[in-house]
Amino acid sequence: MIPTVLSVAGSDPSGGAGIQADLKTFSALGAYGAAALTALTAQNTRGVTGVMPVSGEFVAQQLSALFEDLDVRAVKTGMLGDPDVVDAVAAAVRKYSVRNLVVDPVMVATSGDRLVSDETVVAIRDRLLPLATVLTPNLPETATLLGWPEVGADRMAEAGAELRDRGASAVVVKGGHGGGAEAIDVLVDADGVHELRAPRVATKNTHGTGCTFSSAIAVGLAHGKPLRDAVEEAKRYLTDALRAADTLSVGGGYGPVHHFHAMWS
């Protein structure tokens, strides 16, 4: 049977990030995608011009409808609009004994626009992070969650370990915002520290990379793969999607990665 993976995230009407990127990733990697919307955004490849949160009560209603009918094998969270939404997600994770939870703490868009309030950051850190099978922050998000001024390449393992100490079973600190010839991510889990390396792809079309990576991990877990295998395969998929990104021509800003690079000629 094809496993069902659920994305709990915001909508990106330009199709490159958020729910839209998650569903494309699920489909490309062989999972059935379901979605619960947490926020509507007005955005394109150039930036975000508006955010309209969905109420926590209605997010909870969506989640109840899905979990009471679908056999959800993994859940991936993205942008969570406010603390009430975070609480609704955390309550559903506990109530329905979610087996695999990938938390992508989306706080800042690729364009640099801040997407959530300080109160929401605290709610994610204190109430959702401890439930995560794996947490996937980028460097700015890692610093925000820890209250550090910044996180550089030399402190990625330390930062991942500290986030694990706050309750996450595993943490992947993503190094895409760093420099150098390689894009280096650091996985910290119960077995220690594991680096994931790939050549840095020279493209401006990076919209939705975090959403795509975390969604790919969720698919791997839904297929029953060990966490390290799921993370490594997600890294390879994202790298290939970035390499093919320039074959698309979407918008005038930060375009999307090519989710269906292996299928479209």
Has 142 been annotated as catalytic? Answer: no
In angstroms, rounded to a whole number, what is the distance separating the alpha carbons of residues 47 and 216?
Answer: 24
Structure pTM?
Answer: 0.96
Q: Is 263 contained in some domain?
A: no
Contact 206, 110 (CB under 8 A): yes
Confidence (pLDDT) at 113? 61
Catalytic residue (one of 38, 45, 77, 209): 209
Has 211 been annotated as catalytic? Answer: yes
Catalytic residue (one of 24, 76, 174, 235): 174
Q: Is 265 contained in some domain?
A: no
Confidence (pLDDT) at 47? 87
Using DSSP's 3-state secondary structure scheme, residue 56 falls into: helix
Burial 12-21 (b: 16+ CB within 10 A, else e): bebbbbbbbb
Q: Is 91 contained in some domain?
A: yes
Domain that holds residue 192: 4-247
Q: Is 131 contained in some domain?
A: yes
Contact 18, 12 (CB under 8 A): yes
Residue 160's nearest CA partner among 128, 183, 185 is 185
Confidence (pLDDT) at 179? 73
Q: Is 110 contained in some domain?
A: yes
Confidence (pLDDT) at 110? 56
Using DSSP's 3-state secondary structure scheme, residue 120 falls into: helix
Catalytic residue (one of 15, 33, 175, 210): 210
In angstroms, rounded to a whole number, what is the distance separating the alpha carbons of residues 213 and 145?
Answer: 19
Has 206 been annotated as catalytic? Answer: yes
Confidence (pLDDT) at 109? 58
Looking at the 3D structure of the chain, how many domains does it have?
1
Pairing of strands 192-199, 171-173: unpaired
Confidence (pLDDT) at 251? 95
The one-letter code for the residue type at 68 is E
Q: Is 254 contained in some domain?
A: no
Instruction: Write a three-state SS string for 128-170.
Output: HHHHCCEECCEHHHHHHHHCCCCCCHHHHHHHHHHHHHCCCCC
Confidence (pLDDT) at 194? 96
Confidence (pLDDT) at 112? 59
Catalytic residue (one of 15, 18, 208, 255): 208
Residue 214 corresponds to which tokens in the numbers above? 């975390």
Q: Is 63 contained in some domain?
A: yes
Has 210 been annotated as catalytic? Answer: yes
> CB within 8 A of 245, min separation 6: which ones?
201, 203, 205, 206, 255, 256, 257, 258
Q: Is 262 contained in some domain?
A: no
Catalytic residue (one of 15, 77, 144, 211): 211
In angstroms, rounded to a whole number, what is the distance separating the alpha carbons of residues 89 and 39?
Answer: 13
CATH of the domain at 229: 3.40.1190.20
Confidence (pLDDT) at 114? 65
Beta bridge partners of residue 41, listed in sequence order: 51
Run means of pLDDT, 10 residues per run, the chain, 265 residues: 96 96 98 97 91 95 98 97 95 97 84 75 96 96 92 94 97 85 94 95 93 98 98 98 96 95 89
Catalytic residue (one of 45, 120, 136, 206): 206
